[in-house]
Amino acid sequence: MSAIVKDVTEQTFATEVVEASRTTPVVVDFWAPWCGPCRQLSPLLEQMAQRFTGDVRVVKLNVDEAPRLAQQFRVQGIPAVKAFRGGGVVSEFTGLQPTTVIEQFFAALAPSKADRLVAEAAARPAEAEGLLEQAISAEPDHEGALIALAGIARQQGRHDDARGLLARVPTSTQAQRLLAEMRLAETGADGSLEQLEQEAATSSEARLAYGRALVAVGRHDEAADALVQAVGDPLTRDEARTLLLDLFRVLGDDHEITRRARPRLASALFA
């Protein structure tokens, strides 16, 4: 076996494949010593490992020595080749394939020109804007480039430009989070917190204004309480709900405030 292709075992699989794939794609060759097609495929995978060094890693797993993993990843015939990225399988093929098919398989995993430009932009902040524009020219819908360029536009105060860039990746969770951050950052107070707190006791509109003001000063826990109460009134329901959802996006689904307030929001909406 070539030194560039590493053997993994049941004990090292989680680290060498699953976790490693979160930074670099990992191609796993599920094989066995008695398998003729496996021996034919092996040098082709070694060639690809050499050609895509630094972009894609290749490892081998002997299914005879790791039957549990073979079953877990539904290996029904060998050679079985599975590509891991981000901790899970993203593509695969079974059996000996033509060289052109294997090349395409690896090329799809390797970083694109736009991917490389985005990475370069992160390493060279002074030149980032120009590099990101090049990335978008090469791949107009590149999510990472659009989000990074939107971040620069936002820092420069070009909020409309930032929104326009983020609107081009509407399904991106990160883009939605940045848009929510921008909306929350524009939330202001129509009076002092003390005054709004007093008025909130008797008016749903004041509760909404109080919640908005609390968001603006970063008192998110109290803001969530006030906004949930404002959701309970039809007059302020829609705006309070929108503010709460933006707050959830910014904090994240696992944040304690989100976990506590989301069920309360649902109850208020359907009460």
CA torsion, ordered 237, 241, 242, 244, to nearest 10 deg:
140
Please choose, from the candidates 207, 223, 230, 233, the residue with its C-alpha nearest in 3D space to the C-alpha of residue 258.
223
Of 38, 49, 136, 150, the active-site residue reads 38
For Cα atoms 76, 78, 81, give the angle at the middle one, nearest 5 degrees. 95
Q: Contact at 8 Å (CB) between 240 and 227?
A: yes
Of 35, 114, 149, 243, the active-site residue reads 35
Single-letter amino acid, residue 190: D
- Phi/psi of residue 27, nearest 5 degrees: -100, 125
Single-letter amino acid, residue 170: P
> Residue 7, SS3?
strand
Residue 222 half-sphere exposure toward CB, CA atoms < 13 A: 16
> C-alpha 144: how far from its chain's center?
10
Q: Is 70 a catalytic residue?
A: no
- Report DSSP state, residue 45: H
- CA 68 – CA 224 distance, rounded (Å): 46
Q: Is 35 a catalytic residue?
A: yes
User: Which residues have a catalytic role annotated?
Assistant: 35, 38
